[in-house]
Structures are given as C-alpha cells and as structure tokens.
C-alpha cells in the first residue's frame, strides 16, 4: 500500500513527468505530473481505462517519446534531453519491447527476427546467431528457428517477440498488452513465461487493462486521467 522509496536500486525513476498535446485550440494533458520509480527485478502492471495515459506512459518509458517536462532516468541515463539517434541507441541497449500484435518482420524467419536488434549493435553475424538461438531456446522455440511468422501460432509468435526482447539483455522488458491478441490458454502460457523471466531476475513492466494479467504482477500502478490513482505492491498468487 505504500509507494516505493528505495531509490538506490531504482532502474527507472520519473519525476513530475508532463506530456501534453496541442489539439485544435486547447491543450490536452495525457500525463499530468507523474512520478514513479521502478526497481530492479520489479514486476509491474500499469493498468487503467483507455484514455488514462497508459500508452503515453509506455512510450515515454520505452524512450519512444520525450516528455514535455519532468525528468526521467533509465539507469543512470537522463532520457529527457536525448537526441533521436541517442534515443534509438538507448532503446536498443536498454529496452525490450513486446507488442500486442507481436510486430515481427513478416518476411524474416524466427531466428532472423530475434537477430534483428543485434543488427544495430556491432556484433558479427555468427555471434548474433548464437545469442538469438540462446534466446529462442529460452522461450522454448529452439526447434522452430527457421519458421516464418505466418507459420507460427499466435503464442509462438509472441514467444519469438519475447526472445527478440530478451536477446539484447535489456534493463527492462516492456510489454504493451502482450496477451491482447491471444486466447485464454495461450495467455496463461505467456504469463507463466513472464513469471519465469521475473523469477530469473528480469525487470518486467506490462501495460494492460486485463485484471487477470495484473494479478500476476507484484505491483499494480493504476492510472486515471493522466495521474497515478494507486500504486499497490503485493504478493502475487503463485
């Protein structure tokens, strides 16, 4: 029931983040003065109704967008003032995205998809392959590496996407409705995978509107109208 105070182990710390958009003649505030910190090996769900600012918060967390004001540290890196190129490099180094609709490259095999983020680092193809294989084996798809996305089931595609997020060894795994396009059985499997990854020490942040997903997490941040309505820490049910 109490907000996090442990700043020393914080991987993410946001202070007084404001994000607004200029509509026709009025200013729309998507985020109004949001402060939050996420520690290493946190397992966080960010929930809230649509229009609450979830997506905007995710974009800023994932370094896709810059806030209008406030400070944001990802690790030791101050994000707010970075250029486009620096943001791209930071995303590559520190953020592992997992999207609702998987966003795999359609004409690339599972292996090539997982290798993709390593293309933007200075890593030789051989090493890329090795790391990608490792990640694919981790998500249980070691036998499907040459399949194209359209030859895989929804759950398998999301596993490929998770492997792609894992392969860069990012500071946080950032899931945007990661089970939104999956049936209930597959959702359970994917959530079990997230549970495992958390147990292995990864920092997981999931944006969702499904309470069952949030139930898996150890901390639930509820947004409403661009503000944090509640930030609850609890023991997950196994």
Partner 1 sequence: MLNSPSGFAMPKSLHAVWEGTRAALHSIRAHAMRSMLTTLGIIIGVAAVIAVVAIMQGLSSSITQQLDDLGSDMVTIRAYTTQEDQLLGFNKTLSYDDFLVLKSKVEGVEDMTATMQPFSFGSTVSYGRNSVQTQIIGTDSSYQNVVRIYPEYGRFLSESDDLRRRRVAFVGTSVLKKLNMSENSVGEFISLNGEWFRVIGIAETQGSIFGFDQDNYIITPFSTMRSLSGDQVTRNIDIMFRPSDPAKLPEVQEQISQILRKRHNLEKDDADDFEFHSAEKTKKQFDSVTQSVTLVAGGVVGISLLVGGIGVMNIMLVSVTERTREIGTVKALGATPQFIMIQFLIEALVLSLFGGIIGLILGYGVASMLTMVMPNMPSALVPLWAITLALGFTTAIGVIFGLAPAMKAARLNPIDALRYE
Residues within the interface to partner 1 (CB under 8 A): 59, 62, 64-65, 84-85, 88-89, 91-93, 95, 97, 99, 103-108, 116-117, 119-124, 126-127, 164, 168
Question: Which of residues 148 and 227 has its CB atom nearest to partner 1 in the complex?
Answer: 148
Question: Which of residues 53 and 220 has its CB atom nearest to partner 1 in the complex?
Answer: 53
Cα separation, 42 vs 194, whole angstroms? 12
Minimal distance in Å, beta carbon 90 to partner 1?
Answer: 8
Q: Which residues contact 180 (CB under 8 A, 6 or more apart)?
A: 100, 101, 208, 210
Minimal distance in Å, beta carbon 72 to partner 1?
Answer: 16
Minimal distance in Å, beta carbon 8 to partner 1?
Answer: 26
Question: Which of residues 10 and 60 has its CB atom nearest to partner 1 in the complex?
Answer: 60
Pairing relationship of beta strands 26-39 and 10-23 according to DSSP bridges: antiparallel
Question: Which of residues 48 and 62 has its CB atom nearest to partner 1 in the complex?
Answer: 62
Question: Which of residues 145 and 214 has its CB atom nearest to partner 1 in the complex?
Answer: 145
CB distance 80 to 19 below 8 Å: no
Torsions phi, psi for 21 (to 5 deg)? -120, 140
Minimal distance in Å, beta carbon 55 to partner 1?
Answer: 9
For residue 71, how many other CB atoms are within 10 A of its CB?
A: 15
Cα separation, 157 vs 108, whole angstroms? 12
Question: Which of residues 48 and 170 has its CB atom nearest to partner 1 in the complex?
Answer: 170
Cα separation, 50 vs 62, whole angstroms? 19
Minimal distance in Å, beta carbon 202 to partner 1?
Answer: 18
Cα separation, 227 vs 19, whole angstroms? 11
Cα separation, 192 vs 219, whole angstroms? 16
Minimal distance in Å, beta carbon 226 to partner 1?
Answer: 17
Torsions phi, psi for 196 (to 5 deg)? -65, -45
């Amino acid at each position: 029931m109490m907000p996090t105070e442990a700043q020393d182990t914080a991987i993410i710390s946001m202070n007084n983040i404001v994000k607004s958009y200029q509509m026709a003649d009025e200013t729309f505030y998507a985020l109004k003065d949001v402060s939050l910190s996420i520690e290493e090996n946190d397992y966080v769900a960010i929930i809230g109704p649509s229009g609450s600012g979830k997506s905007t918060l995710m974009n800023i967390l994932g370094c896709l967008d810059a806030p209008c004001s406030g400070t944001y540290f990802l690790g030791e890196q101050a994000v707010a003032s970075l250029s486009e190129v620096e943001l791209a490099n930071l995303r590559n180094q520190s953020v592992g995205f997992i999207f609702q609709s998987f966003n795999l490259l359609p004409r690339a095999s599972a292996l090539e998809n997982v290798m993709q983020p390593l293309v933007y680092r200075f890593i030789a193809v051989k090493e890329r392959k090795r790391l990608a294989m490792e990640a694919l084996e981790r998500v249980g798809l070691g036998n499907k590496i040459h399949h194209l996305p359209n030859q895989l089931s929804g759950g398998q595609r999301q596993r490929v996407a998770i492997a792609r997020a894992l392969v860069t060894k990012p500071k946080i795994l950032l899931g945007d409705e990661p089970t939104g396009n999956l049936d209930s059985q597959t959702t359970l499997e994917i959530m079990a995978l997230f549970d495992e990854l958390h147990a292995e020490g990864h920092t997981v942040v999931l944006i969702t509107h499904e309470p069952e997903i949030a139930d898996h997490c150890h901390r639930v941040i509820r947004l409403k109208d661009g503000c944090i309505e509640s930030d609850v820490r609890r023991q997950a049910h196994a």
